[in-house]
Amino acid sequence: MTTKNLLVELFVEELPPKALKKLGDAFATQLSDQLRALGLINGDSVTTAYASPRRLAAHISHVYLKAADKAVQQKLMPVSVGLDASGNPTPALLKKLHALGVDTSNPAATVASLKRAQDGKAEALFYDSLVTGATLDTGLQKALEETLAKLPIPKVMSYQLHTQCALPGWSSVHFVRPAHSIIALHGSTVVPVQVLGLSAGHTTQGHRFEAAVSPVTIADADSYAETLARDGAVIASFAERRAEIVRQLAAAAEKVGGGCRPIEDDALLDEVTALVERPHVVICEFEKEFLGVPQECLILTMKANQKYFPLLNAAGKLTHQFLVVSNIRPEDTSAVVGGNERVVRPRLSDAKFFFDQDRKKTLASRVEGLSRVVYHNKLGTQGERTQRVVAIGAAIVEQIRHAITPYTVHAKEEMDVLASKVQQAATLAKTDLLTDMVGEFPELQGIMGGYYARHDGLREGVAIAIEDHYKPRFAGDVLPRNHTGTIVALADKLETLVGMFGIGNLPTGDKDPFALRRHALGVIRILMEADFSINLDTMIGNAAHAFDPLLVNWSDAEQATFDAGPAKLLDFIYDRLAGALREQGYSAQEVDAVLALRPQRLGDIPKRLEAVRAFAALPEAPALAAANKRIGNILKKAPEVDAHVSEILLQEPAEKALFAVMQELAPKAEAQRNAGDYTGSLQTLAALRTPVDAFFDDVMVNAEEMDLRLNRQGLLKTLHIAMNRLADLSRLAS
C-alpha cells in the first residue's frame, strides 16, 4: 500500500502564550496516536509539530489512504452454552451472531463456520471475521475530534460562528480560541473533514502585517513550513522560532559588547516564542539612574510585565540596556525601539518609587503590622506565625547547642551570638510582606527584606538570613548561605508543615495549595546537606509546642487532630525522603533498609546508604540478609525476650561459636559505627555469616527446656540488634 504525507493545520486567533508549546505538542502527538490506532500510519511514520501564536499544526509522514483490512477472532461463548445436545445453535448463540451481523438463515452452515478451541477448562466457540480498514476520510475525522477533545486547554472559550462560515447545524463553538480555518492535505489532496464548524481546505493566513499574500495557499503537505515562511512571513515551527530568537539575542548582546549577555530564563523564552511569528530582536535602553534600584526589581518588572530580556554585564550585574523581541521587521526600527523604551520607563519609575518609599520605614517598625495580616483563619495572623517561627528557631539552636561536644566557653559564645541572630532574623523575616515593592511583586519576598535590612544597618549575616529564609524555593535551588539563614529557613518550613498537618490540611493527589511537599523536601535537603546534629523527631515535637498558645481556645476534637499531626508529618517526610533517594539512584531495597530504622539524623543517611550498598555487594550479604529476616520472624513471636545471654546455658558448639565471634566482632563494629565508619562496621559484621549458618543448621532455637529457649532467643536478639544498628538488613533479602 502506498502512502503520502499528511498536513493538518488549525488556524485560530491568538492562543494563550504560556500554554502554546504544550498545546502544539499535544495536538501533534494525539493526532498521530489516533491515526496509528486506526492503522492509518505505517511503522516508519514521523510526526512534526508546528505551533505559532495563531496556529496548531502537525505534519505526519507515511499515512495510508485506507487502513488494511484486519482479521479478527472473537470469542462467543462456551460450547455447552452455544450448542444443544444435538449440536444445533441455541437461541443465545443465534442472538449473539445476529448482533455481530452474521447471516443465521442456515443454522447448520453457521455452526460449521465457527471454530472450537480450548479456553481454560472449557471448550469455547470463536467467530473469525474480516474487519474493513478505516479510510482516511473517516479516520481523520474521528482522530481530529478525539484530538481536540483531549487537548490540555487551560480555559475553554464559547463563541458564535460567522453565519457565512458556519456549517449547517453549527452556531456555538467551544474551544481554546475562535477557529477560522482548517487545512487537511494528504499529499496535495484535501481530506474532506469538518471540525469546529469548519470544512477543511488548503488555505491559511500568514503574518498579520507582513505576509506577502493573503490568503496563503498550501500546495501540498510537504511545502507547508516553506510556503508559510516565504508567502506568510511566519516561522511555523516552535522549536525553530525559539532557536532563531536565541541566535538573535546572542548576536544583539555581542553587538552591545562589554561581555554582555541576555538573562537566561527558559520560561520567558518559551513565552516570547509563543507571542511572535516572525521574531526580530532590537536593542533598547533606559536611564542609568534606575540602576540604583535593586536589580531583581528591575529584572522582574521587565520580564513579567513587558517580556523583555535584560542584559547583564560580564560580572552578572544589570546594565541599562535590554533586548526586545519584536513581531515585525521594519527597515527603520527607531519607532519600535522608542515605543518600547517609552513603555518601560513608567514601570521602572514605579519600582524606584516603591523602593524609595519602603526605605522610609524600618523593618522593625513593621513588625507590629504583621498582627493585622491574616495568615490562616485557624492558625492566626502573620504576627502569631512570626512568634512561632522565632520559638522554633530558638529550639533548633538549643538542639545544636546540646549536640556540641565538648561545650567550651568559645562554643557558648558562638551559640549565644547565633541565637541572637536567629531571633532577630526570624522576627523580621516576614516584614517585607508589608512593603509596597513586595505588594506589587510577591516574587521578591525575602529578597527585598535583605535589601531593607542592609539599609536599616543590620548585621550582614542577619540580612542574608532574611533574604535566604525561603530557600530552597524549588528543586535544585541553593540552600541558605549561613547558619542563621539555614535555621530560620528550617523554622519557617517546620511552622508551615506542623501547622497545616495539625489542622488536617494535607496534600491530596496533585493538589498541594500550601506547597507542603516542597517544604518537606526543603527540610530534608537542609538537614541532609547542612548536616546538623539534631534529632528530627525532637525538632518536630519542639515545633509543635510553639503552637501551644494557639491551642488554648481550641476544642478537644481540634486539639486531638493537632496532636496527631506530628506523627503524620514524620511519615510524610520519610515518604518524601524515600522518593528523593530513589530519584538519586539508590535502589528501593537500599532505601527501605536504611529508612526502616527511621534514622533521626538525616545527614547520616547518605553514608548509611553507601555502607548498605557496599555490604550488599559482599558474597556474605544474601545469606546474612536471609538469616536476619529469619531472626526477625522468630523474635516477633517472642517480643518479651531480653538481649541477654547466659554463657553457662550455651550447650551446642555452634551457639558457643556464634557467641564467641559476637563477643569479638560486635564491639569492633560498634566502635567503627561510633567513629562514623559505617561501611567498615557492616563489613566487620559480614564475618558472622559462617557461625550464623552453623547456628541455624545445628541448634534448635525453640528447645523444650524454657531456660535454653530463652537464652537462645536472647542470643538471637543480641545478634539482631548488632546487625541492624545502621539499617534493617533483612530488607535486602530477595
CB hemisphere CA count around 307 (13 angstroms): 16
pLDDT band at 134 (very low <50, low <70, confident <90, very high): confident
78: which 3 cell numbers?
A: 462456551
Q: What is the percent of the chain where pLDDT is above 70?
A: 99
pLDDT of residue 165: 56
284, 287, 293, 297: CA torsion to nearest 10: -20
Highest mean pLDDT: which range of 161-165, 436-440, 639-643, 650-654: 436-440
pLDDT of residue 171: 74
pLDDT band at 523 (very low <50, low <70, confident <90, very high): very high
pLDDT of residue 218: 97
The DSSP letter of residue 438 is H
pLDDT tens by residue, 694-734? 988 888 988 888 888 888 888 889 989 988 999 999 898 87
Tell me what the mean pLDDT of segment 385-402 comes to: 95
Report the distance separating Cα 414 and Cα 8, nearest Å.
69
Nearest by Cα to 283 from 246, 265, 256, 264: 256
pLDDT band at 476 (very low <50, low <70, confident <90, very high): confident
pLDDT tens by residue, 291-349? 999 999 999 999 999 999 999 999 999 999 999 999 999 999 999 999 999 999 999 99
pTM over 0.85: no
Q: Are strands 179-186 and 198-201 parallel, antiparallel or unpaired?
A: parallel
3-state secondary structure of 71: strand
Tell me what the mean pLDDT of segment 68-91 comes to: 84
Gyration radius from the chain CA atoms: 36
- CA distances from residue 584 to 181, 577, 588 in whole angstroms, order as listed: 48, 11, 11
Report the distance separating Cα 241 and Cα 702, nearest Å.
76
Q: H or E element: which one contains 569?
A: helix 556-583
pLDDT band at 567 (very low <50, low <70, confident <90, very high): very high
pLDDT tens by residue, 430-468? 999 999 999 999 999 999 999 999 999 999 999 999 999
Q: Which amino acid is at 10?
A: L
Place of cell 489516533: 34
pLDDT of residue 527: 93
pLDDT of residue 117: 86
Tell whether the model's pLDDT for residue 350 goes beyond 60.
yes
CB hemisphere CA count around 618 (13 angstroms): 23
Report the distance separating Cα 128 and Cα 333, nearest Å.
71
* Contact predicate 339/328, CB 8 Å: no
pLDDT of residue 532: 80
The DSSP letter of residue 516 is H
- CA distances from residue 253 to 299, 311, 312, 495 in whole angstroms, order as listed: 16, 7, 9, 45
pLDDT of residue 101: 79
pLDDT of residue 404: 85
pLDDT band at 474 (very low <50, low <70, confident <90, very high): confident
Degrees (nearest 5) of the Cα angle 77, 81, 84? 135
Tell me what the mean pLDDT of segment 199-209 comes to: 95
Give the lowest-confidence range in 54-68, 210-224, 707-721: 707-721
The DSSP result for 699-720, as a single string, is --SS-SSHHHHHHHHHHHHHHH
Q: Which amino acid is at 531?
A: D
Instruction: Return all residues near 14 (Cβ < 8 A) that are at least 6 apart.
Output: 53, 54, 177
Nearest by Cα to 366 from 473, 466, 293, 486: 466
pLDDT tens by residue, 148-201? 999 999 899 998 876 555 566 667 889 999 999 999 999 999 999 999 989 999
3-state secondary structure of 116: strand
Report the distance separating Cα 86 and Cα 617, nearest Å.
68
C-beta atoms surrounding 228 within 10 Å: 27
pLDDT band at 122 (very low <50, low <70, confident <90, very high): confident
Tell whether the model's pLDDT for residue 70 goes beyond 90.
no
pLDDT band at 351 (very low <50, low <70, confident <90, very high): very high
Report the distance separating Cα 430 and Cα 65, nearest Å.
65
Instruction: Return all residues near 699 (Cβ < 8 A) that are at least 6 apart.
Output: 652, 654, 655, 712
Backbone angles phi, psi at 482, to 5 degrees: -140, 170
Tell whether the model's pLDDT for residue 604 goes beyond 70.
yes
Report the distance separating Cα 453 and Cα 365, nearest Å.
12
- CA distances from residue 65 to 60, 187, 201, 592 in whole angstroms, order as listed: 13, 10, 17, 54
Tell me what the mean pLDDT of segment 494-522 comes to: 92
Tell me: cis bond preceding 472? Omega within 30 of 0 counts: yes
Tell whether the model's pLDDT for residue 71 goes beyond 90.
no
Q: What is the mean pLDDT of the chain?
A: 92
